[in-house]
Amino acid sequence: MVPRRDGVLALATMTRNTALREAPLPTDALFGKTIVLVGLMGAGKTSIGRRLAARLGLPFRDADAEIELAAGCTIPEIFARYGEPAFRDGERRVIARLLAAEPMVLAYGGGAFMDPSTRAATRQEAVSVWLRCPVATLAKRVAGRDNRPLLANNDREETLRRLTEIRNPVYAEADVIVDCGEETPDVTTAQVLDALADWTPPRRLKVTLSQSSYDVAIGDGLLSRAGALLAPVLPQKRAVVVTDKAVAALHLETLMAGLANTGFVATSVIIPGGEAGKNLETWQTIVSALLEARVERRTAVIALGGGVVGDLAGFAAATTLRGLPFVQIPTTLLSQVDSSVGGKTGVNTAFGKNLVGAFYQPRIVLADTGVLATLPPRELRAGYAEIAKAGLIGDAGFFAWCEANGAAVCNGDRDAQAEAIQRACAFKAGVVGDDEREEKPNDGRALLNLGHTFGHALEADYGYDGGLLHGEGVAVGLGLAFKLSARLGHCTREDAERVIAHVASVGMAADLRMLNRRFSASELVAHMKRDKKVRDGALHFVLARGIGRAFTSSDVPAEAVVDLLRDEGCGV
């Protein structure tokens, strides 16, 4: 279930209204989860935690105090008698018990968040807040304290500086980061409340396959949080980012900074953009760059860009060292709802589109809605065609939602875009989970090709030169698929007209005549026969019995397709 923001908005209103500053805040404001404070010793986790708990009307617990209570001795005594490993084991068990209890404000000891299992449990059960303080402030606060085993007999400031270098990249995986320094605890508490009020967790959608699963995370600002989102799912904090020149200029710096914040060591490979470069030569360039960088089998390949980048980088990841961890960070609406989900990777050849490739699933997909603001309107509309397609295949209610909200999606409404992405990806995830490798001959993953037999033929006719975007070809293809279905008696003419009217309403070409190009029916059919969806020499079409009722067919008379195309204005 996607968390609602109602409670967070209420929290924001109350914390920023000075007349209500001292009022307890609703505990459901953060979705009924424990709030965990992390940071180095001296960051103020206990003092801030007590104030935060009072403001939220929650109990407060200090993990170190709970450990001492359970052990019957102080933490310095535990270190002296049993050593740090025994202390960490006890700390892990105590924190697991506290996280499983009712919501509270919980202050961790400085090293607790360093434990991977504790971080995993925290992500699942709590909202984590890192109190980030300068070393000089920390050293001043811990001066004179004798209950810090890691500071015993050591230079405090130098020890804190060393711990900062080690721990800060891990603390940066926290959900919320609050910078604090010399201000009073009350001021810092207010800053924490404001930060929590502004925090919105990404929407999460799980793609479940026969032998694996992964999440699609959807939200604003995910590039800057990429390191925190990727660290839990990758085996190594080392990555190579594959992107194109246009995307690199817009988003590469933000992504690299987001990775560096959590200690990732990342390099980049920049390739030319566009469908024309989606070929074996560019794939070879990427593979050579990966090998030259001496990647290991745990080094991740991150695709930052549209569908072309995702397909190329995914194919390179699938084939280099027989498989590298792969991450999709799609930057177009089309790739966010289509190519980034499902594991299809590949390149084009002179014989057709995507004829060389592999099924290779990502570890995670990050769909940052914020990057969509940099897209030209044409790119947004082209991506929207794949969203409407999902409703037309198997969800009439979603297509009705599209008719009501499609214009908002194409005009940049961030909430509408997030909802559309989630619903379209959820539909595709269900189809892919049931037919991962498109092995079902009928009504499996092949249904996702609604409009694509026509669309790919149109793209091939243009020569993949950018004159026709993939989504634009699919948009025309959707109308043609419904017109063909109506001609064959599977659906009504009104269904076809409804599809065409909706495509036109968001500003896309809805039929062949609107493309202002002369086509040959025989040439388009020839392109279709070279498509990878051909089986036993027969063309396979996805047709429809109505809105949301698609099916596959291999017995469409060739003359019916030719007649349709000629009636749409194509030449012989």
Residue 24: which residues within 8 A CB-CB, separation 6 or more? 54, 55, 56, 57
Task: List strand residue ranges (DSSP E) for 147-202, in order.
Answer: 176-179
**Which of 347, 375, 403 is where one domain is finished?**
375
Arithmetic mean of pLDDT, 310-330? 98
Residue 18 confidence (pLDDT): 35
215 and 190 part of one domain? no
Domain range for 313 is: 203-375
Catalytic site residues?
Answer: 322, 344, 386, 428, 438, 445, 449, 452, 456, 470
User: Percentage of the chain with pLDDT > 70?
Assistant: 91
CA 272 to the chain's CA centroid: 24
Q: What distance in Å separates the CA atoms of residue 320 and residue 329, rounded to the nearest whole number?
A: 19
Say if residues 46 and 107 touch (Cβ distance below 8 Å). yes
Q: Token digits for 172? A: 């940066």
Tokens of 558: 């060739």
First to last CA, the chain: 53
pTM, full prediction: 0.89
Last residue of a domain, one of 149, 177, 198: 198
CATH code of the domain containing 349: 3.40.50.1970
* Per-residue pLDDT tens over the stretch 474-496: 999 999 999 999 999 999 999 99
DSSP-assigned letter for residue 439: -
pLDDT at 531: 74
Q: Are residues 252 and 118 in the same domain?
A: no
Q: Which of 316, 350, 375 is the last residue of a domain?
A: 375
Residue in 319, 557, 312, 542 with CA at minimum distance from that of residue 440: 542
Q: Check whether residue 167 and residue 255 sit in a common domain.
A: no
Specify the CATH number for the domain of residue 143.
3.40.50.300
Asked if 548 contacts 498 with a C-beta cutoff of 8 angstroms, the reply is no
Shared domain for 30 and 175, answered yes or no, is yes
Pairing type for strands 34-38 and 126-132 reads parallel
Question: Do residues 217 and 190 share a domain?
Answer: no
In this structure, is residue 180 part of a structural domain?
Answer: yes
pLDDT at 510 over 80: yes
Which pLDDT score, from 0 to 100, does residue 21 have? 42
From CA 446, how far away is CA 423, in angstroms rounded?
Answer: 19
CA distances to 118, 163, 453 from 532, rounded to whole Å, are: 47, 55, 10
Tell whether 90 is covered by a domain.
yes
Q: Report CA torsion sign: 117, 120, 122, 124.
A: negative
What does DSSP say about strands 60-62 and 105-107: parallel, antiparallel, or unpaired?
A: parallel
**Across-strand partners of 519?**
none
Domain containing residue 480: CATH number = 1.20.1090.10
pLDDT grade, residue 16 (50/70/90)? very low
Asked if the structure places residue 410 within a domain, the reply is no
Instruction: Read off φ and ψ for residue 210, nearest 5 degrees.
Output: -65, -35
pLDDT above 70 for 22? no
CA angle 525/530/535 to nearest 5° reads: 100
Model confidence over 301-310: pLDDT tens digits? 999 999 999 9
Q: Count how many domains the chain has.
A: 3
Nearest residue to 555 (alpha-carbon basis) of 535, 532, 527, 525: 535
From the list 44, 332, 92, the residue with the least C-alpha distance to 189 is: 44
Residue 3 CA to residue 202 CA, distance in Å, equals: 9
Query: What kind and span of H or E run contains 472?
Result: helix 470-487
Does some domain include residue 28?
yes
Q: Do the Cβ atoms of 314 and 360 come closer than 8 Å?
A: yes
Residues 282 and 312 in one domain: yes
225-256 pLDDT, tens digit per residue, is 999 999 999 999 999 999 999 999 999 999 99
Pairing verdict, β 550-553 and 541-544: antiparallel
Residue 320 domain flag: yes
If one compares 191 and 351, the residue with the highest pLDDT of the two is: 191
pLDDT of residue 426: 96
Report whether 512 contacts 568 (CB < 8 A): yes
Q: Give residue 213's Cα distance to chain centre.
A: 14
The torsion defined by the Cα of 334, 337, 341 and 342, in degrees rounded to 10, comes to -90
Angle at CA 29, nearest 5°, toward 28 and 30?
90
* Same domain as 433, residue 337: no
User: Do 25 and 58 share a structural domain?
Assistant: yes
Helix axis angle, 280-292 to 307-319, nearest 10°: 60
Query: Quick check: 9 pLDDT over 60?
Result: no
Reading the block at residue 434, the tokens are 């049931």
Which residues have CB under 8 Å from 270's CB, separation 6+? 243, 244, 245, 248, 252
Nearest alpha carbon to residue 219 among 260, 261, 175: 175
DSSP assigned state of 251: I
332 assigned to some structural domain = yes
Give which of 127, 131, 121, 182 is closest to 11, Cα–Cα. 127
The pLDDT of residue 227: 98
> pLDDT value at position 437?
87
Residues 210, 339, single domain; the answer is yes
Cβ(262)–Cβ(268) below 8 Å = no
Residue 539 pLDDT > 70, yes or no?
A: yes
Residues 339, 471 contacting (CB under 8 angstroms): no
Q: What is the pLDDT of residue 151?
A: 59
Residues 177 and 252 in one domain: no
Residues 212-235 have a mean pLDDT of 97
pLDDT in tens, 342-366: 999 999 998 888 899 999 999 999 9
Whether residue 159 is found in the same domain as residue 282? no
Q: Is residue 382 part of a domain?
A: no
Q: Is 403 among the domain residues?
A: no
The answer on 342 and 241 residing in a single domain is yes
Mean pLDDT of the chain: 91
